[in-house]
Structure 1
Protein backbone atom coordinates (compact mmCIF):
# COMPACT_ATOMS: atom_id res chain seq x y z
CA UNK A 1 0.00 0.00 0.00
CA UNK A 2 1.19 3.51 -0.84
CA UNK A 3 2.08 6.13 1.73
CA UNK A 4 -0.45 8.95 1.86
CA UNK A 5 0.09 12.40 3.35
CA UNK A 6 -2.93 13.96 5.00
CA UNK A 7 -4.23 16.70 7.24
CA UNK A 8 -6.22 15.43 10.21
CA UNK A 9 -8.54 18.42 10.55
CA UNK A 10 -9.73 19.76 13.88
CA UNK A 11 -11.80 16.64 14.59
CA UNK A 12 -8.80 14.37 14.07
CA UNK A 13 -6.28 16.18 16.27
CA UNK A 14 -7.22 14.14 19.33
CA UNK A 15 -6.23 10.94 17.51
CA UNK A 16 -2.92 12.52 16.45
CA UNK A 17 -2.15 13.47 20.05
CA UNK A 18 -2.97 9.94 21.20
CA UNK A 19 -0.70 8.36 18.60
CA UNK A 20 2.16 10.72 19.45
CA UNK A 21 1.80 9.77 23.10
CA UNK A 22 2.03 6.07 22.27
CA UNK A 23 5.31 6.69 20.41
CA UNK A 24 7.10 8.35 23.36
CA UNK A 25 9.65 5.93 24.80
CA UNK A 26 12.58 6.43 27.17
CA UNK A 27 14.64 4.09 25.03
CA UNK A 28 13.82 5.79 21.75
CA UNK A 29 15.04 9.01 20.12
CA UNK A 30 13.63 12.38 21.11
CA UNK A 31 10.97 13.49 18.67
CA UNK A 32 7.79 15.52 18.31
CA UNK A 33 5.82 15.16 21.57
CA UNK A 34 2.11 15.64 22.33
CA UNK A 35 3.21 18.62 24.42
CA UNK A 36 4.71 20.29 21.35
CA UNK A 37 1.29 20.12 19.73
CA UNK A 38 -0.27 21.27 23.01
CA UNK A 39 1.97 24.31 23.21
CA UNK A 40 1.19 25.19 19.57
CA UNK A 41 -2.52 24.94 20.45
CA UNK A 42 -2.21 28.40 22.03
CA UNK A 43 -2.91 29.68 18.51
CA UNK A 44 -6.24 27.88 18.45
CA UNK A 45 -7.55 24.57 17.17
CA UNK A 46 -7.93 25.76 13.56
CA UNK A 47 -4.31 26.86 13.19
CA UNK A 48 -3.11 23.71 14.95
CA UNK A 49 -5.03 21.54 12.51
CA UNK A 50 -3.70 23.53 9.56
CA UNK A 51 -0.13 23.04 10.85
CA UNK A 52 -0.40 19.27 11.30
CA UNK A 53 0.48 16.62 8.73
CA UNK A 54 0.27 12.84 8.88
CA UNK A 55 1.76 10.08 6.73
CA UNK A 56 -0.21 6.83 6.69
CA UNK A 57 -0.23 3.40 5.09
CA UNK A 58 -3.51 1.48 4.87
CA UNK A 59 -5.06 3.90 7.35
CA UNK A 60 -2.33 3.50 9.97
CA UNK A 61 -0.49 6.70 10.91
CA UNK A 62 3.27 6.12 10.70
CA UNK A 63 4.60 9.70 10.90
CA UNK A 64 3.34 13.05 12.18
CA UNK A 65 4.64 16.51 11.35
CA UNK A 66 3.95 19.88 12.96
CA UNK A 67 4.71 23.11 11.11
CA UNK A 68 6.08 25.06 14.07
CA UNK A 69 6.08 28.30 12.13
CA UNK A 70 6.02 28.47 8.35
CA UNK A 71 9.64 27.39 7.89
CA UNK A 72 10.13 24.56 10.43
CA UNK A 73 8.63 21.08 10.26
CA UNK A 74 9.01 18.92 13.36
CA UNK A 75 8.60 15.17 12.84
CA UNK A 76 7.86 12.01 14.80
CA UNK A 77 7.77 8.41 13.57
CA UNK A 78 6.19 5.23 14.85
CA UNK A 79 9.00 3.25 16.52
CA UNK A 80 8.85 0.45 13.94
CA UNK A 81 8.74 2.90 11.01
CA UNK A 82 11.74 5.19 11.54
CA UNK A 83 13.79 3.22 8.97
CA UNK A 84 10.89 2.37 6.66
CA UNK A 85 12.24 3.13 3.17
CA UNK A 86 8.95 3.84 1.46
CA UNK A 87 7.82 6.13 4.29
CA UNK A 88 11.13 8.00 4.48
CA UNK A 89 11.20 8.51 0.72
CA UNK A 90 7.67 9.92 0.69
CA UNK A 91 8.30 12.25 3.62
CA UNK A 92 11.55 13.47 2.05
CA UNK A 93 9.80 14.15 -1.26
CA UNK A 94 6.91 15.95 0.41
CA UNK A 95 9.09 18.26 2.53
CA UNK A 96 11.43 19.03 -0.37
CA UNK A 97 8.75 20.03 -2.89
CA UNK A 98 7.04 23.37 -2.09
CA UNK A 99 4.11 22.44 -4.31
CA UNK A 100 3.21 19.64 -1.87
CA UNK A 101 2.13 22.31 0.62
CA UNK A 102 4.37 21.30 3.52
CA UNK A 103 7.34 23.70 3.46
CA UNK A 104 7.64 26.82 1.27
CA UNK A 105 10.47 27.84 -1.02
CA UNK A 106 13.55 29.50 0.47
CA UNK A 107 15.31 28.67 3.71
CA UNK A 108 13.48 25.94 5.62
CA UNK A 109 14.19 23.47 8.41
CA UNK A 110 13.24 19.93 9.36
CA UNK A 111 13.59 18.51 12.87
CA UNK A 112 13.68 14.72 12.62
CA UNK A 113 14.54 12.13 15.31
CA UNK A 114 18.13 10.94 15.33
CA UNK A 115 18.53 7.71 13.40
CA UNK A 116 15.45 8.21 11.23
CA UNK A 117 16.09 7.26 7.61
CA UNK A 118 14.57 10.51 6.38
CA UNK A 119 17.64 12.32 7.75
CA UNK A 120 19.93 10.25 5.53
CA UNK A 121 17.78 10.93 2.47
CA UNK A 122 17.62 14.67 3.07
CA UNK A 123 21.39 14.90 3.59
CA UNK A 124 21.86 12.98 0.34
CA UNK A 125 19.55 15.49 -1.34
CA UNK A 126 21.72 18.42 -0.27
CA UNK A 127 20.22 19.44 3.06
CA UNK A 128 22.73 20.56 5.69
CA UNK A 129 23.02 20.65 9.48
CA UNK A 130 21.40 23.63 11.19
CA UNK A 131 21.54 25.17 14.65
CA UNK A 132 22.67 22.89 17.50
CA UNK A 133 20.19 22.12 20.29
CA UNK A 134 20.91 20.54 23.64
CA UNK A 135 18.41 18.01 25.02
CA UNK A 136 18.43 17.27 28.74
CA UNK A 137 16.66 14.46 30.56
CA UNK A 138 15.86 13.49 34.13
CA UNK A 139 14.75 10.01 35.19
CA UNK A 140 11.67 10.02 37.40
CA UNK A 141 12.08 6.55 38.85
CA UNK A 142 13.52 7.97 42.08
CA UNK A 143 11.90 10.55 44.38
CA UNK A 144 12.24 14.18 43.29
CA UNK A 145 13.17 16.54 46.15
CA UNK A 146 11.01 19.40 47.30
CA UNK A 147 11.92 22.52 45.30
CA UNK A 148 12.06 24.59 48.46
CA UNK A 149 9.77 27.36 47.23
CA UNK A 150 6.05 28.03 47.04
CA UNK A 151 4.71 26.37 43.89
CA UNK A 152 1.16 26.84 42.68
CA UNK A 153 -0.79 25.08 39.94
CA UNK A 154 -2.46 27.61 37.67
CA UNK A 155 -6.10 27.47 36.65
CA UNK A 156 -8.23 29.81 34.52
CA UNK A 157 -8.51 32.40 37.29
CA UNK A 158 -4.72 32.83 37.48
CA UNK A 159 -4.03 32.62 33.75
CA UNK A 160 -3.19 36.32 33.59
CA UNK A 161 -0.37 35.85 36.10
CA UNK A 162 1.15 32.94 34.18
CA UNK A 163 0.91 34.91 30.94
CA UNK A 164 2.52 37.98 32.54
CA UNK A 165 5.50 35.97 33.81
CA UNK A 166 5.97 34.32 30.44
CA UNK A 167 5.95 37.68 28.62
CA UNK A 168 8.55 38.97 31.07
CA UNK A 169 10.71 35.86 30.55
CA UNK A 170 11.19 35.97 26.78
CA UNK A 171 12.16 39.02 24.75
CA UNK A 172 9.51 39.78 22.18
CA UNK A 173 6.91 37.43 23.68
CA UNK A 174 3.30 38.36 22.88
CA UNK A 175 1.69 35.64 24.98
CA UNK A 176 -1.76 36.63 26.24
CA UNK A 177 -4.43 35.36 28.62
CA UNK A 178 -6.47 34.36 25.58
CA UNK A 179 -3.67 32.16 24.32
CA UNK A 180 -3.47 30.44 27.70
CA UNK A 181 -7.17 29.65 27.55
CA UNK A 182 -6.83 28.37 23.97
CA UNK A 183 -3.94 26.13 25.02
CA UNK A 184 -5.82 24.84 28.06
CA UNK A 185 -8.82 23.96 25.86
CA UNK A 186 -6.69 21.66 23.68
CA UNK A 187 -6.71 17.88 23.82
CA UNK A 188 -3.08 17.58 25.05
CA UNK A 189 -3.77 19.78 28.08
CA UNK A 190 -5.78 17.01 29.71
CA UNK A 191 -2.38 15.58 30.68
CA UNK A 192 -0.64 18.89 31.39
CA UNK A 193 -0.12 21.37 34.20
CA UNK A 194 0.88 25.03 34.37
CA UNK A 195 2.84 26.03 37.47
CA UNK A 196 4.22 29.23 38.94
CA UNK A 197 6.75 29.87 41.68
CA UNK A 198 5.89 32.70 44.05
CA UNK A 199 8.40 34.74 46.01
CA UNK A 200 8.03 35.64 49.69
CA UNK A 201 5.74 38.53 48.77
CA UNK A 202 3.43 36.20 46.84
CA UNK A 203 4.41 37.51 43.43
CA UNK A 204 4.64 35.02 40.56
CA UNK A 205 8.30 35.01 39.44
CA UNK A 206 8.68 31.87 37.29
CA UNK A 207 6.37 29.82 35.08
CA UNK A 208 6.40 26.41 33.44
CA UNK A 209 4.11 24.04 31.57
CA UNK A 210 4.60 20.28 31.80
CA UNK A 211 3.10 17.78 29.37
CA UNK A 212 2.56 14.11 30.12
CA UNK A 213 2.28 11.55 27.33
CA UNK A 214 0.66 9.02 29.64
CA UNK A 215 1.65 6.53 32.32
CA UNK A 216 5.20 5.27 31.92
CA UNK A 217 5.94 7.63 29.03
CA UNK A 218 8.36 10.49 28.48
CA UNK A 219 7.14 13.86 29.75
CA UNK A 220 8.05 17.30 28.37
CA UNK A 221 8.78 20.77 29.73
CA UNK A 222 7.65 23.48 27.28
CA UNK A 223 8.03 26.34 28.07
CA UNK A 224 9.90 27.41 31.23
CA UNK A 225 10.73 31.00 32.03
CA UNK A 226 11.88 33.24 34.88
CA UNK A 227 10.77 36.86 35.10
CA UNK A 228 13.72 39.01 34.01
CA UNK A 229 13.39 41.13 37.17
CA UNK A 230 13.76 38.10 39.43
CA UNK A 231 16.69 36.21 37.95
CA UNK A 232 19.71 35.10 39.93
CA UNK A 233 17.74 33.79 42.92
CA UNK A 234 17.47 30.12 41.95
CA UNK A 235 13.88 30.30 40.73
CA UNK A 236 14.74 28.62 37.43
CA UNK A 237 16.19 25.60 39.19
CA UNK A 238 13.28 25.54 41.66
CA UNK A 239 10.53 25.57 39.05
CA UNK A 240 12.35 22.95 36.99
CA UNK A 241 12.44 20.65 40.01
CA UNK A 242 8.76 21.42 40.60
CA UNK A 243 8.05 20.52 36.97
CA UNK A 244 9.78 17.16 37.41
CA UNK A 245 7.72 16.45 40.55
CA UNK A 246 4.50 17.33 38.72
CA UNK A 247 5.30 14.98 35.85
CA UNK A 248 6.19 12.24 38.29
CA UNK A 249 2.75 12.69 39.88
CA UNK A 250 1.21 12.46 36.40
CA UNK A 251 2.91 9.09 35.88
CA UNK A 252 5.75 10.09 33.55
CA UNK A 253 8.79 7.81 33.55
CA UNK A 254 11.20 10.65 32.75
CA UNK A 255 11.19 14.28 31.67
CA UNK A 256 12.99 15.95 28.80
CA UNK A 257 13.60 19.53 27.76
CA UNK A 258 15.45 20.93 24.75
CA UNK A 259 17.11 24.33 24.49
CA UNK A 260 19.41 26.03 21.97
CA UNK A 261 23.00 25.10 22.78
CA UNK A 262 23.84 28.80 22.64
CA UNK A 263 21.61 29.38 25.70
CA UNK A 264 24.28 28.29 28.17
CA UNK A 265 22.35 29.75 31.10
CA UNK A 266 19.35 27.53 30.41
CA UNK A 267 21.56 24.45 30.04
CA UNK A 268 23.20 25.24 33.39
CA UNK A 269 19.81 25.73 35.05
CA UNK A 270 18.49 22.38 33.89
CA UNK A 271 21.67 20.61 34.93
CA UNK A 272 21.44 22.19 38.38
CA UNK A 273 17.92 20.70 38.64
CA UNK A 274 19.26 17.19 38.16
CA UNK A 275 18.92 16.87 34.40
CA UNK A 276 21.50 14.94 32.40
CA UNK A 277 22.86 16.70 29.34
CA UNK A 278 22.44 14.52 26.24
CA UNK A 279 24.36 14.72 22.94
CA UNK A 280 23.57 17.74 20.80
CA UNK A 281 21.10 17.43 17.97
CA UNK A 282 20.71 19.60 14.88
CA UNK A 283 17.87 20.51 12.61
CA UNK A 284 18.27 19.90 8.89
CA UNK A 285 18.42 23.06 6.80
CA UNK A 286 17.86 23.76 3.11
CA UNK A 287 18.51 27.19 1.66
CA UNK A 288 17.06 27.25 -1.84
CA UNK A 289 17.20 31.02 -2.24
Structure 2
Protein backbone atom coordinates (compact mmCIF):
# COMPACT_ATOMS: atom_id res chain seq x y z
CA UNK A 1 0.00 0.00 0.00
CA UNK A 2 3.05 2.28 0.16
CA UNK A 3 3.33 5.27 -2.17
CA UNK A 4 6.00 7.97 -2.15
CA UNK A 5 5.14 11.30 -3.78
CA UNK A 6 8.22 13.17 -4.95
CA UNK A 7 9.05 16.33 -6.86
CA UNK A 8 12.17 18.10 -8.14
CA UNK A 9 12.75 21.81 -7.52
CA UNK A 10 15.29 23.90 -9.44
CA UNK A 11 16.91 27.30 -9.05
CA UNK A 12 15.49 30.02 -11.27
CA UNK A 13 18.93 30.97 -12.59
CA UNK A 14 18.91 27.59 -14.34
CA UNK A 15 16.42 29.19 -16.77
CA UNK A 16 14.61 26.01 -17.81
CA UNK A 17 11.99 26.03 -20.54
CA UNK A 18 9.24 25.34 -18.00
CA UNK A 19 10.23 28.40 -15.98
CA UNK A 20 9.37 30.63 -18.94
CA UNK A 21 5.71 29.65 -18.43
CA UNK A 22 5.63 30.36 -14.69
CA UNK A 23 4.62 33.52 -12.84
CA UNK A 24 6.41 32.43 -9.68
CA UNK A 25 9.63 30.66 -8.75
CA UNK A 26 9.87 26.89 -8.55
CA UNK A 27 10.34 27.14 -4.78
CA UNK A 28 7.16 29.22 -4.50
CA UNK A 29 5.35 26.57 -6.55
CA UNK A 30 6.79 23.93 -4.22
CA UNK A 31 5.35 25.73 -1.20
CA UNK A 32 1.90 25.76 -2.79
CA UNK A 33 2.32 22.08 -3.69
CA UNK A 34 3.39 21.26 -0.14
CA UNK A 35 0.44 23.13 1.34
CA UNK A 36 -1.97 21.12 -0.84
CA UNK A 37 -0.36 17.87 0.32
CA UNK A 38 -0.55 19.06 3.93
CA UNK A 39 -4.33 19.57 3.62
CA UNK A 40 -4.58 15.81 3.09
CA UNK A 41 -1.87 14.98 5.63
CA UNK A 42 0.25 13.52 2.83
CA UNK A 43 4.05 13.50 3.24
CA UNK A 44 6.13 14.50 0.22
CA UNK A 45 9.84 14.35 -0.59
CA UNK A 46 11.11 17.32 -2.58
CA UNK A 47 14.55 17.13 -4.18
CA UNK A 48 15.90 20.69 -4.27
CA UNK A 49 19.06 22.03 -5.89
CA UNK A 50 21.59 23.61 -3.58
CA UNK A 51 21.53 26.72 -5.74
CA UNK A 52 17.77 27.08 -5.16
CA UNK A 53 18.40 26.98 -1.41
CA UNK A 54 21.10 29.62 -1.87
CA UNK A 55 18.89 31.88 -4.01
CA UNK A 56 15.73 31.53 -1.88
CA UNK A 57 16.85 30.56 1.63
CA UNK A 58 13.82 31.88 3.50
CA UNK A 59 11.38 30.07 1.24
CA UNK A 60 13.37 26.84 1.47
CA UNK A 61 13.42 27.18 5.26
CA UNK A 62 9.64 27.58 5.13
CA UNK A 63 9.42 24.32 3.17
CA UNK A 64 11.75 22.57 5.59
CA UNK A 65 9.63 23.66 8.55
CA UNK A 66 6.51 21.96 7.19
CA UNK A 67 5.81 18.70 9.02
CA UNK A 68 4.83 16.80 5.87
CA UNK A 69 7.93 17.75 3.86
CA UNK A 70 11.23 15.93 3.51
CA UNK A 71 13.90 17.81 1.59
CA UNK A 72 16.39 15.88 -0.49
CA UNK A 73 19.39 16.91 -2.59
CA UNK A 74 19.22 17.52 -6.34
CA UNK A 75 22.82 18.55 -7.09
CA UNK A 76 24.01 22.10 -6.60
CA UNK A 77 24.36 23.60 -10.09
CA UNK A 78 22.44 20.96 -12.09
CA UNK A 79 25.49 20.32 -14.32
CA UNK A 80 25.86 23.86 -15.68
CA UNK A 81 29.44 24.77 -14.77
CA UNK A 82 32.37 24.80 -17.23
CA UNK A 83 33.75 21.74 -15.42
CA UNK A 84 30.55 19.81 -16.13
CA UNK A 85 30.55 20.93 -19.75
CA UNK A 86 34.15 19.89 -20.34
CA UNK A 87 33.76 16.50 -18.65
CA UNK A 88 30.57 15.83 -20.60
CA UNK A 89 32.34 16.69 -23.86
CA UNK A 90 35.16 14.32 -22.93
CA UNK A 91 32.65 11.54 -22.39
CA UNK A 92 31.25 12.15 -25.85
CA UNK A 93 34.57 12.16 -27.71
CA UNK A 94 35.88 9.08 -25.88
CA UNK A 95 32.62 7.15 -26.38
CA UNK A 96 32.07 6.98 -22.63
CA UNK A 97 35.50 5.73 -21.64
CA UNK A 98 36.34 8.97 -19.80
CA UNK A 99 34.02 11.66 -18.52
CA UNK A 100 30.40 11.95 -17.39
CA UNK A 101 27.68 14.53 -16.80
CA UNK A 102 28.70 14.68 -13.13
CA UNK A 103 32.24 15.92 -13.65
CA UNK A 104 35.44 14.33 -12.32
CA UNK A 105 35.07 12.39 -9.09
CA UNK A 106 36.65 15.11 -6.88
CA UNK A 107 34.37 17.74 -8.42
CA UNK A 108 31.30 15.55 -7.98
CA UNK A 109 32.28 15.07 -4.34
CA UNK A 110 32.64 18.85 -4.00
CA UNK A 111 29.19 19.44 -5.48
CA UNK A 112 27.58 16.89 -3.16
CA UNK A 113 29.29 18.39 -0.12
CA UNK A 114 28.35 21.92 -1.15
CA UNK A 115 24.71 20.90 -1.55
CA UNK A 116 24.65 19.20 1.84
CA UNK A 117 26.38 22.19 3.45
CA UNK A 118 23.92 24.77 2.15
CA UNK A 119 21.04 22.72 3.53
CA UNK A 120 22.86 22.20 6.80
CA UNK A 121 23.19 25.97 7.10
CA UNK A 122 19.39 26.11 6.89
CA UNK A 123 19.04 23.45 9.59
CA UNK A 124 18.24 20.63 7.18
CA UNK A 125 19.92 17.21 7.20
CA UNK A 126 19.66 15.60 3.76
CA UNK A 127 19.44 11.80 3.59
CA UNK A 128 17.60 11.38 0.25
CA UNK A 129 19.00 12.29 -3.15
CA UNK A 130 18.06 12.43 -6.82
CA UNK A 131 20.48 13.72 -9.44
CA UNK A 132 19.18 16.30 -11.87
CA UNK A 133 17.89 14.56 -15.02
CA UNK A 134 18.76 11.20 -13.38
CA UNK A 135 22.43 11.73 -14.30
CA UNK A 136 24.77 9.63 -12.19
CA UNK A 137 28.01 7.75 -12.85
CA UNK A 138 30.10 4.96 -11.33
CA UNK A 139 31.20 7.20 -8.44
CA UNK A 140 27.82 8.62 -7.38
CA UNK A 141 26.54 5.88 -5.08
CA UNK A 142 29.80 5.57 -3.19
CA UNK A 143 30.10 9.33 -2.73
CA UNK A 144 26.52 9.75 -1.53
CA UNK A 145 26.95 6.93 0.99
CA UNK A 146 30.22 8.46 2.14
CA UNK A 147 28.48 11.76 2.91
CA UNK A 148 25.55 10.31 4.83
CA UNK A 149 22.88 9.94 2.17
CA UNK A 150 20.78 6.79 2.70
CA UNK A 151 18.21 6.82 -0.14
CA UNK A 152 18.82 7.34 -3.86
CA UNK A 153 15.98 7.72 -6.39
CA UNK A 154 17.68 8.16 -9.73
CA UNK A 155 16.27 5.69 -12.24
CA UNK A 156 12.97 5.22 -14.06
CA UNK A 157 11.95 1.55 -13.95
CA UNK A 158 8.33 0.59 -14.70
CA UNK A 159 8.79 -2.69 -12.80
CA UNK A 160 11.38 -1.41 -10.31
CA UNK A 161 11.32 -2.30 -6.63
CA UNK A 162 13.30 -0.83 -3.73
CA UNK A 163 16.66 -2.54 -3.23
CA UNK A 164 20.06 -1.96 -1.65
CA UNK A 165 23.25 -1.11 -3.51
CA UNK A 166 26.54 0.26 -2.21
CA UNK A 167 25.06 1.03 1.20
CA UNK A 168 22.12 2.98 -0.21
CA UNK A 169 18.44 2.14 -0.50
CA UNK A 170 17.70 2.52 -4.20
CA UNK A 171 14.14 3.66 -4.87
CA UNK A 172 13.28 3.76 -8.59
CA UNK A 173 10.57 5.95 -10.07
CA UNK A 174 8.11 3.28 -11.18
CA UNK A 175 5.19 5.35 -12.43
CA UNK A 176 5.13 7.66 -15.52
CA UNK A 177 7.09 10.87 -14.70
CA UNK A 178 4.96 13.96 -15.21
CA UNK A 179 7.44 16.08 -17.13
CA UNK A 180 7.85 13.53 -19.91
CA UNK A 181 4.25 12.39 -20.11
CA UNK A 182 2.00 15.43 -19.50
CA UNK A 183 1.21 18.12 -22.04
CA UNK A 184 2.42 21.35 -20.47
CA UNK A 185 4.40 24.50 -21.34
CA UNK A 186 6.49 23.77 -24.45
CA UNK A 187 5.49 20.09 -24.40
CA UNK A 188 2.46 20.43 -26.69
CA UNK A 189 0.89 17.68 -28.81
CA UNK A 190 2.78 19.10 -31.81
CA UNK A 191 6.08 19.06 -29.93
CA UNK A 192 5.57 15.48 -28.77
CA UNK A 193 4.63 14.31 -32.28
CA UNK A 194 7.77 15.89 -33.75
CA UNK A 195 10.11 14.78 -30.95
CA UNK A 196 11.89 11.42 -30.89
CA UNK A 197 11.72 11.00 -27.10
CA UNK A 198 11.04 7.42 -26.01
CA UNK A 199 11.60 6.65 -22.34
CA UNK A 200 10.97 3.59 -20.17
CA UNK A 201 7.23 4.38 -20.21
CA UNK A 202 7.24 5.01 -23.95
CA UNK A 203 6.71 8.25 -25.83
CA UNK A 204 3.07 9.01 -25.03
CA UNK A 205 1.97 12.27 -23.41
CA UNK A 206 -1.48 12.93 -21.97
CA UNK A 207 -3.50 15.72 -20.42
CA UNK A 208 -2.96 15.96 -16.67
CA UNK A 209 -6.15 14.14 -15.67
CA UNK A 210 -5.41 11.23 -18.04
CA UNK A 211 -1.82 11.11 -16.76
CA UNK A 212 -3.17 10.83 -13.21
CA UNK A 213 -5.33 7.85 -14.21
CA UNK A 214 -2.23 6.24 -15.74
CA UNK A 215 -0.18 6.85 -12.60
CA UNK A 216 -2.89 5.48 -10.31
CA UNK A 217 -3.16 2.36 -12.46
CA UNK A 218 0.60 1.82 -12.12
CA UNK A 219 0.39 2.45 -8.37
CA UNK A 220 -2.33 -0.19 -8.07
CA UNK A 221 -0.16 -2.69 -9.94
CA UNK A 222 2.75 -2.08 -7.57
CA UNK A 223 0.50 -2.31 -4.53
CA UNK A 224 -0.71 -5.70 -5.74
CA UNK A 225 2.94 -6.80 -5.93
CA UNK A 226 3.63 -5.42 -2.43
CA UNK A 227 6.11 -3.00 -4.00
CA UNK A 228 6.40 0.67 -2.99
CA UNK A 229 5.17 2.98 -5.73
CA UNK A 230 7.19 6.13 -6.38
CA UNK A 231 5.60 9.07 -8.20
CA UNK A 232 7.48 11.99 -9.76
CA UNK A 233 5.27 15.07 -9.94
CA UNK A 234 7.24 18.32 -10.25
CA UNK A 235 5.70 21.36 -8.54
CA UNK A 236 6.47 23.43 -11.64
CA UNK A 237 4.87 20.94 -14.00
CA UNK A 238 1.82 20.42 -11.79
CA UNK A 239 1.35 24.19 -11.63
CA UNK A 240 1.70 24.77 -15.36
CA UNK A 241 -0.35 21.77 -16.49
CA UNK A 242 -3.59 22.46 -14.60
CA UNK A 243 -2.84 24.65 -11.57
CA UNK A 244 -2.36 21.63 -9.27
CA UNK A 245 -5.78 20.06 -9.89
CA UNK A 246 -4.35 16.63 -10.78
CA UNK A 247 -1.87 16.83 -7.92
CA UNK A 248 -4.62 17.59 -5.42
CA UNK A 249 -6.62 14.59 -6.62
CA UNK A 250 -3.46 12.49 -6.34
CA UNK A 251 -3.06 13.60 -2.73
CA UNK A 252 -6.70 12.82 -2.00
CA UNK A 253 -6.37 9.30 -3.37
CA UNK A 254 -3.09 8.76 -1.54
CA UNK A 255 -4.64 9.88 1.73
CA UNK A 256 -7.77 7.75 1.47
CA UNK A 257 -6.59 4.60 -0.29
CA UNK A 258 -2.83 4.27 0.21
CA UNK A 259 -0.04 4.61 2.74
CA UNK A 260 1.93 7.72 1.72
CA UNK A 261 5.48 7.94 3.09
CA UNK A 262 8.60 10.01 2.60
CA UNK A 263 11.52 8.62 0.63
CA UNK A 264 13.64 7.98 3.74
CA UNK A 265 10.91 5.78 5.24
CA UNK A 266 11.11 3.23 2.41
CA UNK A 267 12.85 -0.05 3.23
CA UNK A 268 14.32 -2.43 0.67
TM-score category (smaller protein): 0.3 to 0.5
TM superposition score normalised by structure 2: 0.32
Which has the larger strand fraction?
1
Structure (1 or 2) with the larger CA radius of gyration? 1
| Greater helix fraction, Structure 1 or Structure 2 | 2
TM, length-normalised to structure 1: 0.31
Higher relative contact order (CA 8 A, sep 6+): 2
